[in-house]
Structure 1
Amino acid sequence: MSSLLPPSLSDTIVALSTPPGSGAIALVRLSGSQAIALTESIFAGKSLQEQATHTLHFGTLRDGERILDEVVVSLFRAPRSYTREDVVEISCHGSDYIVQQVLSLLVRGGARLAEAGEFTKRAFLHGAFDLAQAEAVADLIASDSALSHQVAMQQMRGGFSRELKELRARLVQFASLLELELDFGEEDVEFADRSGLTNLLQELEGIIRQLLRSFELGNVIKNGVTTVIAGKPNAGKSTLLNALLNEERAIVSAIPGTTRDFIEDEVSLEGIRFRFVDTAGLRDTTDVVESMGVERTRQRVRQAALLLYLFDLTTASPAQLAAELAELNPGNLIPALAVGNKLDQISSAEAAAYADTDALLLSAATGRGMDELKQALLQKVRGTGLDRTGSATIVTNVRHARSLEAALAALLAVQAGLQSNTGTELLAADLRRALAYLGEITGEISTDDLLTSIFTQFCIGK
């Protein structure tokens, strides 16, 4: 297959695969036909050319007679490597100076600095995995919660790809029969059973719709639950944000209107990532800047996955709470959690007035009720199935979702064509479109522009 690859992919590439900056260890990775020879040209130790794959070798790196560092070299011979090419990984000390010297020596010897994502791109082009799995590598690197890690691992191991390939294989069988009919168009014969095709299309429509529904959940897993903290000035929104984050992230002041713009930060609760957004207090004001903040708050609420409405127990009443929530979240279109703050400043009798409401009462300043709030937040999102992902296929990638939507539209067009007795040529064209969109996800059908767009989002050393 290498003879079919673009010339640039015949180069031996090199990059730092650990984060830049001083550290105990840095890992420099090479991939390509000259990876072992280039490394050996600056390595003093065993002859690397004579060593077996998947072995480690201690020695020194030298620039002429000058010893640069003591290193451990890992050898992975093609095709038993990440890229399916010869790969060498040099573990050196994590000095910026040492790393730059090593890279410079290897580039002078004939290597080329790798582009973003080029190691993974080579792995894809050499058939190590498909495009959906390659994108899952980036998701795995970026995962910062138990759920995002779980979903990325499931996709990287090919769960989503297998499901798509099964869908595509079943469609290919019918598409080939329709194409055969076109070859015998003058003889008016049907090789594809129309009723069988209808049943298959309906089944595939259901599967794709289920995958598309999972995207809403997948987006939350990947990007976190955007939770907007809204309420009137001095309700304690900034104090609550600080309590949730366990740090002084937001300025706390008794002066109304202190918060005029968004303050965002994230916290993981039992593996689910919440992105909390502290907003400007909701009130009528003549201050132009504060008024802009209030309007932006209302806009942000409409975009939220979850609304945490905070009210002041010392000034509000259950009736006022209901009216304020109805005005801010008409029709309960956004999942909302009403939270009464300053529980430490009211009597038990005053707190009892909220017994018939769904409001949760707490004191952000003292920490009383914070554990209950965290559990209430988890319960709000668990209704979406976040804690029951198991081995289910979940779509987390926007590109995949758009391709699935386009494939579904093509399948619906085929169904409509069957019902209206559309000619075989049009049915076959719509089926080809559906197959193409499904193939785009796994990379069975791809373009240079698509691959460039995907792999440039990776870090350099991956």
Structure 2
Amino acid sequence: MNDTIVALATAQGVSAIAVIRLSGKDCIDIVQKVFKGKNLQQQPSHTLHFGTIYDDKKVIDEVLVSLFKEPNSFTKENCIEISCHGSPVIIKEIIKVLLKKGARLAEPGEFTKRAFLNGRFDLAQAEAVADLINAETDNARQAALNQMRGGFSKEINRLREELIHFASLIELELDFGEEDVEFAKRDDLRYLILKIQTYLQSLIDSFDQGNVIKNGVPTVIAGKPNAGKSTLLNTLLNEERAIVSDIAGTTRDVIEDEVILGGINFRFIDTAGLRETQDVIEAIGVERTKERMKKASLIIYLFDLTQASLSEIEEQEKELVSLSIPFIKVGNKMDKADKSLLSKLEEKNFLFISAANKTNIQQLKEKILSYFQVQSVKTGDVMVTNIRHYQNLLQTNEALQRVLDGMDQEITGDFLAMDIRQALHYLGEITGTITTDDLLDNIFSKFCIGK
């Protein structure tokens, strides 16, 4: 925490400008050693300064320096952002000269980690920073922004405070154990826990929608060879992403890309055709298809209506049901199919399309969306999008249920206090009131280096 850290804050590669970020008590002194312009130590916070970066007598680049003095910065430390031309050579040279003058390279997420450790925001808000950067839809952006602004944290902290009040009263009872006094009225405690559980359950229930908004929906397009899977992927993406051929087994590996439908990011995954094969490479592709199907949130199973028989379709349908994953039965090549087969399949909840002619593709998109009803996220909406938060909420709810069960069994206050402390612990882990180094390392290691 005493080091001055430096990292590129903008994306790698050639660009018009790049931003190099520093944070730490000595960052102004370090930059001043290589900066020719105004004396940065004498300038007020939140000011911009034009000048030149030198390495001894060699000019590296003309830059614009943004100055933020503690505690009025993102990390609550002295911070500087150097805007330079976006040549990789220039970026490398500037960072190299800053390292030579005493800075060190930042670790992944270290700027945000320092902001958390210095009290700029809590852990849930810090995690929302990464979610905001990675948001791919407007709903994901709004959900992350709501969390970063502290709406979720305020609710969690309010619940903790109410529980802490009762926990302290029960702890006080333990000090007067021989006098048989009751500072925490059990009816009031029961009412509070039921109220908290009701709210916790609403947060837990919001995770299904929140997870879809944040992470999107992995959707596998599966079926036998030549069913039209690659053609359907290209049609959904509106580009020639996958190779289309009449030769069975053309797709041997997973091909995937993303499309936003109804504000949800769908990752469509084209897979190798499912069949028995002696080709070693194709067999690996078939195995990968089966693995992807098990991990999918939705399966679009394509049947070739010109080749498949009714008995074969029914057999494949049984295998789909055994996976216990939502699936859509899609009959492809409807324009070439036998009319008697179509009439028999109409009663089996089939959707008929022609991927090549783009027939009924809009109906397929509507069918896909019907499995994931996501409303627009509005400013102030509280929603759980993080699996870590979701697990902590489940554990909190279980601990509170043990308190209720304990009161029904009339157990002593020390056991009630133990379960309440457990609930407080799980709630505290969400916002970072209670943390471990392992937890922090795991969270911030997933951030990009300059954030």
| Same fold by TM-score greater than 0.5 | yes
**Contact kept? 2:320, 2:327, Cα under 8 Å:** no
- Would you say 1:387 and 2:378 are equivalent positions? no
Task: Identify which of 439, 445, 462 aligns with 2:428.
Answer: 439
- Using the alignment, how far apart are the partners of 1:240 and 1:142 within structure 2? 28
Deviation at 1:417, TM superposition (A): 0.9
Matched ranges for 1:363-378 at <5 A: 363-378=354-369
Residue 56 (structure 2) pairs with residue 67 (structure 1): no
Alpha-carbon deviation of 1:88? 0.8
Counterpart mapping for 1:5-84 below 5 A: 9-84=1-76
Q: Is the 8 A contact 2:51 2:62 kept in 1?
A: yes
* 3-state SS, counterpart of residue 134 of structure 1: helix
| Alpha-carbon shift at residue 457 of structure 1 (Å) | 1.4
For the residue of structure 1 that corresponds to 2:206, the secondary structure is helix
Secondary structure at the aligned position of 1:29 is classed as strand
CA drift at 1:295: 5.6
| Equivalent position amino acid for 1:334 in 2 | I
The percentage of counterpart residues that share the same residue type is 54
Q: In the alignment, is the contact (CA less than 8 A) between 1:309 and 1:325 conserved in 2?
A: no
Superposition deviation, residue 270 in structure 1: 3.3
Deviation at 1:231, TM superposition (A): 2.1
Bigger CA drift: 208-217 or 76-85?
208-217
SS at match of 2:306: coil
Distance in 2 (alpha carbons) for counterparts of 1:344 and 1:94? 53
1:447 to partner: Cα distance: 1.6
SS in 2 for 1:381: coil
Q: Secondary structure at the match of 1:401?
A: helix
Partner residue of 2:389?
Answer: 400
Out of 126-135 and 91-100, give the one that drifted further.
Answer: 91-100
Please name the residue that 1:4 is paired with: none
**CA-to-partner distance for each residue in 1:200-233, whole Å, 9 max, x for gaps?**
2122222223322322332222222121212232
Counterpart of 2:138 (choices 140, 146, 152) is: 146
Asked if 1:423 corresponds to 2:412, the answer is yes
One-letter amino acid of the structure 2 residue matched with residue 426 of structure 1: F
Does 18-27 or 369-378 show the bigger shift? 369-378
**CA distance in structure 1 between the partners assigned to 2:248 and 2:316 by the alignment:** 18
Q: 1:289 and 1:49 mapped to 2: Cα distance?
A: 64
Contact 2:304 2:333 in 1 (8 A): yes
Gaps of 5+ in 2: none
Distance of aligned partners of 1:177 and 1:101 in 2 relative to their CA distance in 1, 3 Å threshold? same
- Mapped to 2, the partners of 1:186 and 1:163 lie a distance apart of 37
Please, which of 353, 369, 382 is the counterpart of residue 362 of structure 1?
Answer: 353
1:335 aligns with 2:326: yes
Residues 168 and 282 (structure 1 numbering): CA distance in 2 closer, same or farther, change over 3 Å? same
> Under a length normalisation based on structure 2, what TM-score does the superposition of the two structures give?
0.92
- Per-residue CA deviation, residues 286-318 of structure 1 (Å, 9 max, x unaligned), is 667656655654454343211212112323467
Structure 1 residues 295 and 32 mapped into 2: Cα distance closer, same or farther (>3 Å)?
closer
Corresponding residue of 1:179:
171
Preserved contact between residue 174 and residue 192 of structure 1 (Cα < 8 Å): yes
Partners of 1:29 and 1:35 in 2: CA distance? 10
* CA displacement at 1:245 relative to structure 2: 2.2
1:236-288 Cα distance to aligned partner (Å, 9 max, x none)? 11211122223333332323344344333322223211122223334455667
Aligned with residue 453 of structure 1, among 430, 442, 448: 442
Query: Contact between 1:298 and 1:328, CA under 8 Å: does it hold in 2?
Result: no
SS in 1 for 2:405: helix
Q: Report if aligned partners of 2:10, 2:450 keep a CA contact under 8 Å in 1.
A: yes
Mapped pair 1:274 → 2:266: yes
Shift of 1:185: 1.3
Confirm whether residue 118 of structure 1 aligns to residue 110 of structure 2: yes
CA–CA separation in structure 1 for the residues paired with 2:132 and 2:334: 42
Name 1:411's counterpart in structure 2: 400
Across the aligned residues of Structure 1 and Structure 2, the Cα RMSD in angstroms comes to 2.4
Q: Residues of 2 paired with 1:359 and 1:392: CA distance?
A: 37
Q: What's the secondary structure of 2:415's corresponding residue?
A: helix
Cα distance change, pair 316–407 in 1 and its aligned pair in 2 (3 A): same
- For structure 1, the 5+ residue unaligned runs are 1-8
TM-score (normalizing by structure 1): 0.90
Counterpart for residue 5 of structure 1: none
Q: 1:423 to 1:250 in 2, by over 3 A?
A: same
Secondary structure of the equivalent of 1:10? coil
Q: 1:33 to 1:292 in 2, by over 3 A?
A: closer
Question: CA contact under 8 A between 2:52 and 2:62: conserved in structure 1?
Answer: yes
Maintained 8 Å contact 1:225/1:306? yes
Q: CA deviation at 1:352?
A: 6.1
Aligned AA for 2:412? G
Q: Deviations over 1:80-127 (max 9, x none)?
A: 110111111110011222112211222222222212111111111111
Residue 159 in structure 1 maps to residue 147 in structure 2: no
Q: Please state how far the C-alpha of 1:57 moved relative to its aligned partner.
A: 1.3
Q: Is the 8 A contact 2:305 2:338 kept in 1?
A: no
Partner of 1:195: 187
Q: 210, 219, 224: which is aligned to 1:227?
A: 219
Task: Give the stretch that moved more between structures: 180-189 or 201-210.
Answer: 201-210
Letter in 2 for 1:379: S
Distance in 2 (CA, whole Å) between partners of 1:66 and 1:170 is: 62
Distance in 1 between residues matched to 2:16 and 2:26, nearest whole Å: 28
